[in-house]
């Protein structure tokens, strides 16, 4: 595979035009959109309007005149098709961590008599921490986190398990759980499921309604490109919504916040899963960032992601300078999310040396270099150039410069 072959693949790519929606410096290869998506031009325009016109001129009137008040619902409905969710089940709110707390508490209330939240030891730490925090608050007799190995999940689903809480795509290995079969297994054992879609939404096709998923959460700033600290989303299947309350009973989830009554009365449906005032500027950014999906089918994005990943692996494995790199996780690309990774004892320094050469990936403990594959803007030629620079850095030992081993707070 030569560089010219990659250019030809880009010329034939039906998604190629979407790259123009993003601000990306020429020469930069951005392989970290799974951690922080790049800036869509539409977001810059929208933020300017929100700040200078809506906030700047129209001030508080904008809650009504620019529908700020409806943003959490409206943005939720824009995310819903990417999740395979019919209207009325998704809201954009808070952070993923906070939404996990809300839904864990709601899910435990939906499944009285059971107290165990079961998860896997490969799960993203915040998911486990939030369950531990809830357990501490309500007491272990009401909420006990049980952590098992991925392969032990089916056998561990006993009649104490209230909620099976898993992250669909593993942030380290890229491995993707079989959502349909695990959801079915959980239901057969009487448990509910709570899926974390942080590395799935905008990356792989999802079918929450078809798979009868109970609850889900996910991130706005990764594959959805909503910007740093973008608000997250949550999904609650319609059949559950009016049976429970979530514990963060803030006024924005009240049925009539501007009646200012002393007693909390939840808004019906998904609206009751909001808590406080939405971060309007961030949510407007999310809203604008999602418009690109009007021109992209997630199925096409997924098949390009698999092609790009295949190319990445092929180029690494065919390069004699890169024999020290070992593929991370599942080899079958159809059972992975949209990232590739390689083990190497010097992964941290190699990633820093790559960043110094404008190829941005990231490092995950203990020894993984991780590259997000985001087909809305990533080209075949970008993958070619990234692997060429990687081979140069590893082949010549460029990463041995001590400056590349200095750890920053964010890796």
Ligand X SMILES: *Cc1c(COP(=O)(O)O)cnc(C)c1O
* CA pair distance 332, 212, nearest whole angstrom: 26
- State the first-to-last Cα distance of the chain, in angstroms, to the nearest integer: 32
Question: Is 232 one of the binding residues for ligand X (CB under 6 A)?
Answer: yes
Q: Which residues, 6+ apart, have CB-to-CB distance to 35 below 8 Å?
A: 222, 362, 372
Question: Is 106 one of the binding residues for ligand X (CB under 6 A)?
Answer: no
Q: Quick check: is 196 catalytic?
A: yes
Nearest to 370 by CA among 75, 124, 31: 31
Q: Is the Cβ of residue 62 or residue 246 nearer to ligand X in the bound state?
A: 246
DSSP 406: P
Q: Quick check: is 260 catalytic?
A: no
Instruction: Work out how close the CB of 130 gets to ligand X at its nearest, in angstroms, rounded to a whole number.
Output: 9
- 25: tokens are 């410096």
DSSP 359: E
Find the catalytic residue in 221, 233, 312, 348: 221
Find the catalytic residue in 13, 127, 170, 196: 196
Q: Quick check: is 222 catalytic?
A: yes
* CA pair distance 128, 120, nearest whole angstrom: 9
The binding track of 192-221 with respect to ligand X, each residue x by CB under 6 A or -, is ----x-xx-------------------x--
Q: Which of 10, 95, 281, 357 binds ligand X (CB under 6 A)?
A: 95
Stretch of residues binding ligand X (CB under 6 A), selected from 5-13, 75-83, 123-131, 135-143: 123-131
Find the catalytic residue in 22, 30, 101, 124: 124
Question: Is 234 one of the binding residues for ligand X (CB under 6 A)?
Answer: no
Find the catalytic residue in 46, 73, 222, 379: 222
Question: Is 374 one of the binding residues for ligand X (CB under 6 A)?
Answer: no
CB-based contact 309:373 (threshold 8 Å): yes
Question: Is 32 one of the binding residues for ligand X (CB under 6 A)?
Answer: no
Q: Is the Cβ of residue 337 or residue 375 nearer to ligand X in the bound state?
A: 337
Question: Is 275 one of the binding residues for ligand X (CB under 6 A)?
Answer: no
Instruction: Work out how close the CB of 198 gets to ligand X at its nearest, in angstroms, rounded to a whole number.
Output: 3
Instruction: Work out how close the CB of 56 gets to ligand X at its nearest, in angstroms, rounded to a whole number.
Output: 29
CB-based contact 77:128 (threshold 8 Å): no
Question: Is 124 one of the binding residues for ligand X (CB under 6 A)?
Answer: yes
Q: Quick check: is 124 catalytic?
A: yes
- 135: tokens are 């357990």
Nearest to 226 by CA among 285, 284, 280: 285
Question: Is 119 one of the binding residues for ligand X (CB under 6 A)?
Answer: no
Q: Name the helix (H) or strand (E) containing 3.
A: helix 3-12
CB-based contact 343:328 (threshold 8 Å): yes
Question: Is 127 one of the binding residues for ligand X (CB under 6 A)?
Answer: yes
Sequence-ordered alpha helix ranges (H) in 290-401: 298-317, 347-356, 380-396
Residues that bind ligand X (CB under 6 A): 95-97, 124, 126-127, 167, 171, 196, 198-199, 219, 232
Indicate which residues carry an active-site annotation: 124, 196, 221-222, 370
């Amino acid at each position: 595979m030569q560089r010219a072959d990659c250019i030809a693949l880009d010329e034939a790519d039906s998604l190629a035009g979407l790259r123009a929606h993003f601000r990306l410096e020429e020469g930069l290869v951005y392989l970290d959109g799974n951690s922080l998506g790049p800036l869509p031009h539409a977001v810059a325009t929208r933020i300017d309007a929100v700040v200078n016109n809506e906030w700047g001129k129209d001030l508080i009137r904008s809650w009504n005149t620019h529908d700020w008040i409806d943003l959490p619902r409206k943005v939720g409905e824009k995310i819903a098709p990417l999740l395979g969710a019919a209207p009325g089940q998704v809201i954009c709110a808070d952070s993923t961590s906070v939404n996990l707390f809300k839904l864990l508490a709601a899910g435990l209330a939906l499944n009285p008599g059971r107290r165990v939240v079961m998860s896997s030891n490969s799960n993203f730490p915040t998911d486990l921490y939030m369950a531990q925090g809830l357990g501490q608050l309500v007491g272990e007799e009401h909420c006990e986190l049980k952590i098992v190995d991925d392969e032990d999940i089916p056998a561990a689903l006993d009649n104490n398990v209230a909620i099976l809480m898993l992250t669909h795509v593993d942030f380290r290995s890229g491995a993707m759980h079989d959502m349909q079969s695990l959801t079915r297994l959980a239901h057969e054992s009487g448990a509910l499921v709570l899926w974390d879609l942080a590395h799935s939404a905008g990356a792989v096709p999802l079918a929450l309604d078809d798979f009868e998923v109970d609850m889900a959460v996910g991130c706005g700033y990764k594959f959805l490109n909503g910007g740093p600290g973008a608000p997250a989303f949550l999904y609650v299947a319609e059949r559950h919504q009016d049976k429970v309350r979530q514990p963060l009973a803030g006024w924005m989830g009240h049925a009539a916040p501007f009646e200012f009554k002393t007693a909390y009365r939840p808004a019906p449906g998904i609206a009751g899963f909001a808590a406080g005032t939405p971060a309007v500027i961030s949510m407007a950014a999310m809203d604008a960032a999602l418009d690109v999906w009007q021109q992209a089918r997630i199925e096409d994005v997924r098949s390009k992601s698999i092609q790009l990943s295949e190319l990445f692996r092929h180029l690494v494995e065919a390069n004699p300078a890169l024999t020290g790199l070992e593929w991370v996780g599942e080899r079958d690309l159809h059972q992975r999310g949209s990232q590739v990774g390689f083990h190497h004892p010097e992964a941290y320094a190699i990633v820093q040396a790559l960043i110094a050469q404008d190829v941005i990936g990231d490092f995950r403990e203990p020894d993984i270099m991780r590259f997000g594959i985001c087909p809305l803007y990533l080209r075949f030629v970008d993958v070619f150039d990234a692997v060429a620079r990687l081979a140069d850095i590893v082949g010549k030992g460029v990463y041995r410069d001590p400056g590349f081993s200095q750890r920053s707070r964010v890796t």
